[in-house]
Chains A and B, each alone.
Chain A
Amino acid sequence: MRVGLFIPCYVDQFYPGAAIATLQLLEKLGVEVVYPANQTCCGQPMANSGFEHLTHGCNELFIKNFDGFDYIVAPSGSCVLHVRDHLHDDKQEDKAKDVRSRVYELTTFLTDVLKVKSLPAKFPHKVGMHQSCHGQRGLHISSMSELVAPSFSKPGSLLAMVEGIEIVPLNRIDECCGFGGTFCVAEEAVSAKMGKDRVDDHLEHGAEYITGVDMSCLMHMEGILKRKGSKVKVLHIAQILNGSPTP
Chain B
Amino acid sequence: MHTEGKDHAELADIFNKDEKRVDWHDETLWFIRAKRDKAVHQLPEWEDLRNTASQIKHNVLSNLDKYLVEFEAQAQANGITVHWAADAAEHNRIVHQLIKDEGVTQMVKSKSMLTEECGLNEYLAEHGIEVIDSDLGERIVQLAKEPPSHIVLPCIHKKKGEIGDLFHMYLGTPSGLDDPQQLTEAARIHLRDTFLTRKVALTGVNFAIAETGEFVVCTNEGNADMGAHLANVHIACMGIEKIIPQRKHLSVFLRLLTRSATGQPITTYSSHFKKPREGQQMHLVLVDNGRTVQLGREEFRNSLKCIRCGACMNTCPVYRRSGGHSYHTAVAGPIGSILAPNLDMKKYADLPFASTLCGSCSNVCPVKIDIHDQLYKWRQVLVKEGYAPTVKKVGMQVMTTTLNSPTVYRLAGKMGRIVMKYAPFAVNNGLNPWYKNRDMPEPPKESFGEWYKKNRK
Contacts and interface: CB of A to CB of B under 8 A. Distances in A.
A11 interface: yes
Nearest to A149: B47
Interface stretch (A103-111, A113-121, A152-160, A193-201): A193-201
Given A185-B433, A187-B8, A146 B399 contact: no
A54 interface: yes
Overall SS of chain A's interface? helix
A188 B13 contact: yes
Given A16-B447, A146-B363, A188-B9, A40 B403 contact: yes
A219 B434 CA distance: 11
B433 A133 contact: no
Given A13-B413, A145-B37, A51 B396 contact: yes
A184 B440 CA distance: 13
A247 interface: yes
Given A13-B417, A176-B358, A189 B43 contact: no
B187 interface: no
Nearest to A17: B444
B446 A16 contact: yes
Interface string B340-366: 000000000000011111111011100
Contacts of B379: 48-50
Interface size, B (range):
35 or more
Given A133-B356, A176-B317, A224 B448 contact: no
Contacts of B364: 146
B26 interface: yes
B317 A175 contact: yes
Contacts, number: 210
A15, A43, A191, most chain B CB atoms within 10 A: A191
B200 interface: no
Nearest to B47: A148
Interface in B1-19: 8-9, 12-13, 15-16, 19
Interface string A122-153: 00000000000110011000001111110000
A51 B385 CA distance: 11
A215 to B, nearest CB: 9
Contact of B439 (A49, A176, A194, A223): A223
B364 to A, nearest CB: 5
A47 B399 CA distance: 12
Contacts of B360: 133, 137, 144, 146, 174, 176
Given A39-B406, A58-B404, A193 B16 contact: yes
Contacts of B251: none
B273 interface: no
Interface string B423-443: 000000000011011111101
B40 interface: yes
A220 interface: yes
A247 to B, nearest CB: 7
Contacts of A17: 444
Contacts of B280: none
A46, A49, A220, A226, most chain B CB atoms within 10 A: A49
Contact of A61 (B380, B406, B449): B406
A148 B41 contact: yes
A102 B321 CA distance: 38
B51 to A, nearest CB: 12
B400 interface: yes
A40 B409 contact: yes
B318 interface: yes
Contact of B438 (A23, A51, A220): A220
Contacts of B322: 190
A142 B451 CA distance: 32
A93 interface: no
A194 B41 contact: no
Contact of B356 (A35, A41, A183): A183
Nearest to A55: B400
A197 B42 CA distance: 29
Interface in B320-334: 321-322
B315, B318, B456, most chain A CB atoms within 10 A: B318
Contacts of A55: 400
Nearest to B365: A146
A14 B443 contact: yes
A86 to B, nearest CB: 9
B269 interface: no
Contacts of A1: none
Contact of B406 (A19, A37, A45, A189): A37
A227 interface: yes
A54 B358 CA distance: 23
A12 B438 CA distance: 21
B4 to A, nearest CB: 18
21 contacts: A16-B447, A20-B448, A35-B452, A49-B379, A49-B392, A54-B396, A58-B404, A138-B359, A146-B37, A147-B47, A148-B44, A176-B356, A176-B360, A178-B318, A184-B433, A186-B9, A188-B13, A188-B436, A190-B12, A197-B23, A223-B434
Please name the 10 residue pairs, one residue from A and one from B, whose CB atoms are nearest each other, closest first.
A223-B438, A180-B356, A57-B404, A50-B379, A50-B383, A137-B359, A192-B437, A146-B363, A133-B358, A19-B448
Interface of A: 7, 9, 11-17, 19-20, 23, 35, 37-41, 43, 45-55, 57-58, 61, 133-134, 137-138, 144-149, 172, 174-176, 178-181, 183-197, 219-220, 222-224, 226-227, 247
Interface of B: 8-9, 12-13, 15-16, 19, 22-23, 26, 30, 37, 40-41, 43-44, 46-47, 315, 317-318, 321-322, 353-360, 362-364, 376, 379-380, 382-384, 388, 392, 396-397, 399-400, 402-406, 409, 413, 416-417, 433-434, 436-441, 443-444, 446-449, 451-453, 456
